[in-house]
């Protein structure tokens, strides 16, 4: 590029800068930019492309959901990954969609009906389901618009819903396949029952909290044949069918095989021996209620005990007598009172015990014997564990693997039927003579009178477990499935590793002939408040990311969250940190606008080496090192470290140092057409171009606005990701600028301590003794606003920096008494450091036991402190008399 072309490019950049507003106002540009990206098809993946695929399927939010801070974090991470891969030249697919959220959605619609005095039973099943679809069309999915605000680059042309036609076909297909392979069965077992939602729950849908309770000891029977049991749920004794003791417990061996009277009833129940009983716990005897406790159920099966249910679906007592119709919590003290009146209570004590709660409505869950559909998970879970053990799937961070194995290696069979109307109805039909038929998606249900379909629907996690391949068209062998499966990265919170990750692993490996659903699982932690506490509505410490977007912009929310995103670790967040991220975007805006107003442009190629100044060579060296560093951190999913590297490079090195140094060749308001100025403009434009591309995956809106203005090109979304050119590494230039920075920083510290205003010029004489600083006096003067001395100069203060002496005439600008006080304070601290270091180094026991690295560190501290004493003493001597 010749000088004339360079000049024209510089003038064009300066002209473009004048069209940039003085401030970046996110709300004025975000919506328009996003719609332009979508309209231009930047996010639309092409299955026919010969590019290497890279796929992320978004964890589908609930159709009832609204964007919360956890969504904002996870989707910011996913979008940063996919935007970078798109820029790297991959055929990048980021696939969006929503989950039908069976229980949550049905509850939402039932609440609406209740306002009209209606229940779903008043409408009937078909009409209620139509009502839910209507609700979904009107109110559901508002989170999709919120995702657009966040700027996530999903392919909206491929949006899916777990109840859409294609995914419904996938659900029916895999159900039938599992059923025919003997991996789905129907059985009566103990399940977790929610008396509020009136449905079964899987183990992972139950949250356990310690709650206060009472352990009551009750005597069953009388005389020598009596036995004492302890329980925290006295009401369930109405359903006892045995008392169990350990077969080797000498205290009760004479009672095994006998019967004992069950208090408050006219029944007698056997005393059985079972190795499940712990003779060291309580009295060593346990009541057995097979229909209301999972352990008791297993004892009941081993001993062929009857299993009567004593609670209905609302957890009300069904046993005839004085407790009939009572709620379980009302019945508990009533039963204890009746037992006490009968002389059966022999002891009571308070205790804390874990109590299960429905994860959706927080109602206390009731163990209940129920006929349900189950998945036999053992072979599926083993395959899911093997895929991680043999390296087909990698979990990041690796420290999360034991958590994963602890689940899949000990998984119980999964109850998949739910007593709801909204969801995928179980494709089982029952005939009039007891026939059971599983109907596939392309099959007609049995004809004839008396045939009825199972009334239950499938667990929501059953359909979302198919997400990585059902969304790509399975069971059809589509082009999307061939191109984009297995998906590349699954990113989600570690809190749903059991809910969702394990289920996708089981189903993906099973349905896709052993092909894993994703190559890597990246787990992030929870977002907590600024004090590290878990956010909750009840605590009032939750945050709404939409409010932050309104206030600070989406880029600030994204960058603020990404900057704290360490794999597998919880992170704290506060509004101040998002405000800081907004300030970062403002800094980039102002710096780029200033550079463009002074003619910075992106050259076709960089100026030749002989035209580059030391600061040019330094910033180009650092630029390429940062590109390599950020690349490595992205590949290792170290988002916080990547953002930190970009933050300090952009703010500190580019804005605060290089742009300031460039003013030596680009005086403010002047655009001289000379080679040095052109070199500065070209290097500055190149650095900003690369920096903005590096930042784009994290802060897409501000970088798009600035990059297109700077380069005149279509969009940074489809720009090429920077590649490190480590041949430009120049450690010598870095050493020079580091030496300059050290001198400048020392002078700045002095000015700040003395309250000298930033704009105030100070006369100073520089003596540069470090060879690296040769020729750097103009830079040091520029960056410190130091004026050259004239004849008769007299210093009032002297600073000794490494490789330089700075003598300043601060008369009229400095408070001598304050400066003396500052230096005295520094001297005192340095002398104390010397004293402490000498004490340790003079301690023979310490030297014998301490590691060499620790001893070396203390010796260095001693040397540094002695150097500080000499430097500060010289500065004190140079001060004028007070």
Residue 475, preceding bond cis, omega within 30 degrees? yes
Q: CB within 8 A of 203, min separation 6: which ones?
A: 192, 412
Q: Which two tokens stand for residue 31?
A: 């919506």
Farthest CA pair distance, the chain:
117
**pLDDT at 316 exceeding the cut of 80:** yes
pLDDT mean over 538-562:
86
CB atoms within 10 A of CB 131: 19
pLDDT tens track for 754-771: 778 888 899 999 999 999
> Is the Cβ–Cβ distance between 372 and 459 less than 8 Å?
no
Give domain 199-367's CATH superfamily.
Valyl/Leucyl/Isoleucyl-tRNA synthetase, editing domain (3.90.740.10)
Q: 304: buried, middle or exposed (CB in 10 Å: 19+, 13-18, 0-12)?
A: exposed
What secondary structure does DSSP assign to 700-719, as a single string?
Answer: HHHHHHHHHHHH--S-GGGS
Alpha helix stretches (DSSP H) within 696-785: 700-711, 731-754, 777-784
pLDDT at 154 over 50: yes
Instruction: Annotate 459-517 with DSSP letters as a single string.
Output: -HHHHHTTHHHHTTTTTS--HHHHHH-SEEEEEEEGGGIIIIIHHHHHHHHHHTTT--S
CATH of domain 3-26+574-729: 1.10.730.10
What does the pLDDT look like over 618-644, one tens digit per residue? 999 999 999 999 999 999 999 999 999
The answer, yes or no, to whether residue 10 has pLDDT greater than 70, is no
Confidence check: pLDDT of 535 > 70:
no
Q: Looking at per-residue confidence, does 846 or 301 come out higher?
A: 301
The C-alpha atoms of residue 821 and residue 385 are separated, in whole angstroms, by: 66
Question: What average pLDDT does this structure show over 117-140?
Answer: 93
Rounded distance between C-alpha atoms, residue 807 and residue 734, angstroms: 26
**616 is written with which tokens?**
């040019």
CA distance 511 to 271: 48
Q: What is the pLDDT of residues 419-472, one digit of tens each?
A: 999 999 999 999 999 999 999 999 999 988 999 999 999 999 999 999 999 999
| 397 upstream amide cis, omega within 30 of 0 | yes
Cβ-count burial 219-244 (b if 16+ within 10 Å, e if not): bbbeeeeebbbbbebbbbbbbbbbbb
Indicate if the pLDDT at residue 1 is higher than 50: no
Q: What is the pLDDT of residue 4?
A: 45
376 annotated ligand binder: no
**Percent of the chain beyond pLDDT 70?**
95
Rounded to the nearest integer, the mean pLDDT of the chain is 91
Query: Computed from CA positions of residues 689, 693, 696, 701, in that sequence, does the dihedral angle turn out positive or negative?
Result: positive
Q: How far apart are CA 454 and CA 420, in angstroms?
A: 11
Check: CB of residue 62 under 8 Å from CB of residue 99: yes
- Residue 154's contacts (CB-CB under 8 Å, 6 or more residues apart) are 43, 58, 94, 95, 96, 147
Each residue of 843-865: pLDDT tens digit? 988 888 888 888 888 999 999 99
Which ranges constitute the DSSP H helices of 20-101?
26-39, 69-87
CB 589 within 8 A of CB 13: no
Instruction: Name the residue among 208, 538, 536, 240 with its Cα closest to residue 364.
Output: 208
- Cβ atoms of 96 and 147 within 8 Å: the answer is yes
Give the contacts of 543 (CB within 8 A, at least 6 positions apart). 69, 529, 535, 573, 575
pLDDT at 11: 55
Q: Which of 535, 558, 405 is nearest to 30 (CA)?
A: 558
Q: What is the pLDDT of residue 625?
A: 97
| 470 burial type by CB count under 10 A (0-12 exposed, 13-18 middle, 19+ buried) | buried
Res 13: pLDDT? 54
Which residue intervals of the chain bear CATH 1.10.730.10?
3-26+574-729
Percentage of the chain lying above the pLDDT 90 cut: 74
> Above 70 in pLDDT, residue 123?
yes
Residue 879 pLDDT exceeds 90: no
Whole-number pLDDT of residue 536? 55
- Given a cut of 60, whether residue 539 has pLDDT beyond it is no
The conformation of residue 423, written as its DSSP 8-state character, comes to: S
Higher pLDDT, 750 or 267: 267
């Amino acid at each position: 590029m010749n000088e004339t072309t360079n000049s024209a490019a510089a003038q064009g950049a300066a002209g473009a800068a004048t069209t940039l507003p003085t401030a970046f106002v996110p709300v004025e540009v975000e919506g328009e930019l996003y719609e332009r990206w979508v309209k231009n098809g930047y996010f639309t993946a092409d299955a026919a492309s010969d590019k290497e695929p890279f796929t992320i399927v978004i964890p589908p939010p609930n159709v009832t959901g609204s964007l919360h801070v956890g969504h904002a974090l996870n989707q910011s991470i996913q979008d940063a990954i996919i935007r970078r891969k798109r820029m790297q030249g991959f055929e990048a697919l980021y696939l969006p969609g929503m989950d039908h959220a069976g229980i949550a959605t049905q509850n939402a619609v039932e609440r609406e009906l209740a306002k009209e005095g209606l229940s779903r039973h008043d409408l009937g099943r078909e009409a209620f389901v139509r009502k839910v679809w209507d609700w979904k069309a009107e109110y559901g999915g508002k989170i999709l618009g919120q995702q657009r605000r966040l700027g996530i680059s999903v392919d909206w042309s491929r949006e899916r819903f777990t109840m859409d036609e294609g995914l419904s076909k996938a659900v029916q297909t895999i159900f039938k396949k599992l059923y025919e392979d003997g991996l789905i069965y129907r059985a009566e077992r103990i399940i977790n029952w929610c008396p509020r939602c009136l449905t079964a729950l899987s183990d992972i849908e139950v949250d356990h909290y310690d709650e206060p309770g009472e352990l009551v000891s009750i005597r069953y029977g009388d005389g020598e044949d009596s036995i004492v049991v302890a329980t925290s749920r006295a009401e369930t004794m109405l359903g006892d069918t045995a008392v169990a003791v350990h077969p080797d417990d000498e205290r009760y061996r004479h009672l095994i095989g006998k019967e004992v009277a069950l208090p408050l009833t006219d029944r007698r129940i056997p005393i059985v021996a079972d190795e499940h009983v712990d003779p060291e716990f309580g009295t060593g005897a346990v009541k057995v209620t097979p229909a209301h406790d999972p352990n008791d159920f297993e004892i009941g099966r081993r001993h062929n005990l009857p299993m009567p249910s004593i609670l209905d679906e609302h957890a009300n007592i069904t046993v005839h007598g004085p407790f009939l119709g009572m709620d379980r919590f009302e019945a508990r003290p009533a039963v204890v009172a009746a037992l006490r009146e009968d002389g059966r209570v022999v002891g009571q004590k308070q205790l804390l015990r874990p109590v299960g709660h429905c994860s959706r409505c927080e109602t206390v869950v009731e163990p209940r014997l129920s006929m349900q559909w189950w998945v036999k998970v053992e072979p599926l879970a083993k395959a899911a564990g093997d895929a991680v053990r043999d390296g087909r799937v990698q979990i990041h961070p690796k420290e999360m693997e034991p958590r994963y194995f602890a689940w899949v290696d000990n998984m119980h069979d999964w109850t998949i039927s739910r007593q709801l109307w909204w969801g995928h109805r179980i494709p089982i039909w029952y005939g009039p003579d007891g026939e059971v038929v599983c109907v596939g998606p392309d099959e007609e249900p049995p004809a004839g009178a008396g045939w009825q379909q199972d009334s239950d629907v499938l667990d929501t996690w059953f359909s979302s477990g198919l997400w990585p391949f059902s969304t790509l068209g399975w069971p059809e062998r589509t082009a999307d499935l061939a191109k984009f499966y297995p998906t590349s990265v699954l990113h989600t919170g570690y809190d749903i590793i059991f809910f969702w990750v394990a289920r996708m692993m089981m189903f993906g490996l099973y349905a896709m002939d052993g092909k894993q659903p994703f190559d890597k699982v990246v787990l992030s932690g929870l977002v907590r408040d600024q004090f590290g506490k878990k956010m909750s509505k009840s605590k009032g410490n939750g945050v709404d990311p939409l409010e932050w977007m309104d206030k600070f912009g989406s880029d600030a929310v994204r960058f603020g969250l990404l900057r704290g995103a360490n794999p597998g670790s919880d992170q704290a967040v506060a509004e101040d940190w998002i405000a800081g991220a907004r300030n970062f975007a403002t800094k980039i805006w102002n710096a780029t606008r200033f550079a463009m107003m002074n003619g910075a442009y992106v050259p076709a190629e960089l100026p030749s080496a002989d035209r580059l100044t030391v600061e040019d060579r330094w910033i180009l060296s650092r630029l390429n090192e940062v590109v390599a560093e950020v690349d490595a951190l992205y590949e290792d999913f170290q988002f916080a470290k990547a953002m930190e590297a970009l933050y300090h490079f952009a703010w500190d090195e580019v804005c605060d140092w290089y742009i300031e140094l460039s003013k030596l060749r680009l005086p403010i308001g002047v655009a001289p057409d000379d080679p040095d100025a052109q070199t500065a403009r070209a290097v500055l434009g190149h650095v900003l171009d690369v920096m903005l591309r590096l930042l784009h995956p994290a802060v897409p809106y501000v970088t798009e606005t600035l990059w297109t203005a700077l380069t005149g090109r279509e969009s940074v979304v489809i720009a090429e990701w920077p590649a490190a050119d480590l041949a430009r590494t120049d450690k010598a230039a870095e050493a020079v600028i580091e030496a300059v920075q050290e001198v400048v920083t020392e002078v700045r510290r002095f000015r700040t301590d003395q309250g000298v205003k930033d704009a105030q010029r100070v006369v100073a004489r520089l003596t540069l003794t470090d060879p690296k600083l040769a020729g750097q006096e103009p830079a040091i003067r520029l960056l410190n606003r130091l004026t050259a001395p004239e004849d008769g100069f007299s210093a009032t203060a002297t600073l000794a920096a490494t490789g330089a002496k700075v003598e300043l005439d601060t008369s009229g600008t400095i408070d001598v008494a304050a400066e003396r006080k500052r230096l005295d304070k520094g001297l005192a601290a340095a002398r104390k450091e010397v004293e402490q270091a000498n004490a340790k180094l003079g301690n023979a026991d310490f030297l014998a036991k301490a590691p060499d690295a620790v001893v070396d560190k203390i010796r260095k501290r001693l040397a540094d402190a002695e150097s500080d004493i000499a430097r500060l003493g010289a500065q004190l001597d140079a001060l004028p008399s007070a």
